[in-house]
């Protein structure tokens, strides 16, 4: 069972993008700047952020920047995390679900594309799941990794090692777009999903 404690009946968003990112802000202030850039781009292009519904760390920053730039935010969070008071109640829609599995299914269903920002183990798990689902053909939505500040350099090197050792092929690594500039990567993902977003405000 899932419940929604707020709903939105405004105009449909230009596109929906699911962002996975840290529930912590990280040690460098540049991570916060990147999260704000991502949310601002989504909002300024009339988009909708789909995310884990948290108010902490980079998650909260992306959500707040999206709203501040005029976008909509769909948060999807399990009851257990709401009980810990981790939910962001400023979301345009906040879906409270029973399990993490239901949360990830709904996030994937509601998004046109996926983007991983810097984060920790929760972010990795979500990224690898949509990447795996893509390689198995469960969906054909674009998946991106924002490698700002070289955060994912060592992960990319490790994936190269996985290919070298024969556990992955190049086509599988090619299913994920890796970029360092938030606006360029966001534009590419949204276009690959079949949308042509144009900035609707002067915020960028
Ligand atoms: P992590 O990268 O380990 O901080 O985990 C962040 C990811 O896991 C997010 O994309 C969320 O979907 C989920 N998550 C982890 N911690 C929280 C939290 N405190 N509130 C909401 N979602 C969380």
CA 120 / ligand 1 centre spacing (Å) = 8
Q: What is the pTM of this model?
A: 0.94
Token digits of residue 23: 């529930």
CA 106 / ligand 1 centre spacing (Å) = 15
Instruction: Tell me which residue of 96, 178, 102 sits closest to 145, measured CA to CA.
Output: 178
Distances (CA, A) of 59 to 62, 87, 110: 5, 10, 17
Atom of ligand 1 nearest to the CA of 121: 3
Which residue has a Cα nearest atom 12 of ligand 1? Answer: 52
Which residue has a Cα nearest atom 10 of ligand 1? Answer: 20
Q: Is 46 left (phi over 0), alpha (psi -120 to 50) or beta?
A: left
Backbone angles phi, psi at 168, to 5 degrees: -140, 160
DSSP states of the chain: -EEEEE---SPPPS-EEEEE--SS--SSHHHHHHHHHHHHHHHHTT-EEEE--B-SHHHHHHHHHHHHTT-EEEEEEEHHHHHTT-B-TTSSEEEEES-HHHHHHHHHHH-SEEEE-S--HHHHHHHHHHHHHHHHTS----EEEE-GGGTTHHHHHHHHHHHHTTSS-HHHHTTEEEES-HHHHHHHHHHHTT------SS--
| Residues 39 and 69: beta-carbon distance below 8 Å | yes
| Segment 45-58, tens digit of pLDDT | 999 999 999 999 99
Domains of the chain from N-terminus onward? 2-7+14-190 (3.40.50.450)
CA dist 112 and 50 (Å) reads 10
Looking at per-residue pLDDT, the higher value among 165 and 4 belongs to: 165
Evaluate: CB of 123 within 6 angstroms of ligand 1: yes
pLDDT at position 85: 86
Evaluate: CB of 21 within 6 angstroms of ligand 1: yes
| Segment 79-115, tens digit of pLDDT | 999 999 899 999 999 999 999 999 999 999 999 999 9
Backbone angles phi, psi at 147, to 5 degrees: -95, 50
Beta bridge partners, 116, equal 20, 145
Evaluate: CB of 188 within 6 angstroms of ligand 1: no
CA 53 / ligand 1 centre spacing (Å) = 9
Mean pLDDT to the nearest integer, 68-72: 97
Evaluate: CB of 17 within 6 angstroms of ligand 1: no
CA dist 133 and 106 (Å) reads 14
> Residue holding tokens 């050792």?
165
């Amino acid at each position: 069972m899932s419940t929604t404690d707020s709903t939105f009946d405004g105009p449909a968003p230009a596109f929906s993008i699911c962002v996975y990112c840290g529930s912590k802000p990280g040690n460098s202030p540049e991570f916060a700047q990147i999260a704000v850039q991502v949310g601002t781009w989504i909002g300024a292009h009339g988009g909708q952020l789909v995310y884990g519904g948290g108010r902490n760390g980079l998650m909260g920053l992306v959500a707040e920047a999206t709203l501040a730039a005029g976008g909509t935010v769909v948060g999807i969070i399990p009851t257990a995390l709401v009980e810990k008071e981790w939910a962001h109640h400023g979301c345009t829609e906040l879906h409270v679900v029973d399990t993490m599995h239901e949360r990830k299914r709904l996030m994937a269903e509601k998004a046109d594309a996926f983007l991983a920002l810097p984060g920790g183990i929760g972010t990795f798990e979500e990224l690898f799941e949509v990447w795996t689902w893509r390689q198995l053909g469960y969906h054909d939505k674009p998946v991106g990794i924002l490698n700002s500040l070289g955060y994912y350099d060592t992960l990319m090197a490790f994936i190269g090692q996985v290919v070298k050792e024969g556990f992955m092929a190049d086509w599988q690594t090619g299913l994920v777009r890796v970029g360092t500039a938030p606006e360029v990567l966001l534009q590419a993902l949204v276009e690959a999903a079949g949308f042509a977003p144009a900035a609707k405000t002067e915020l960028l």
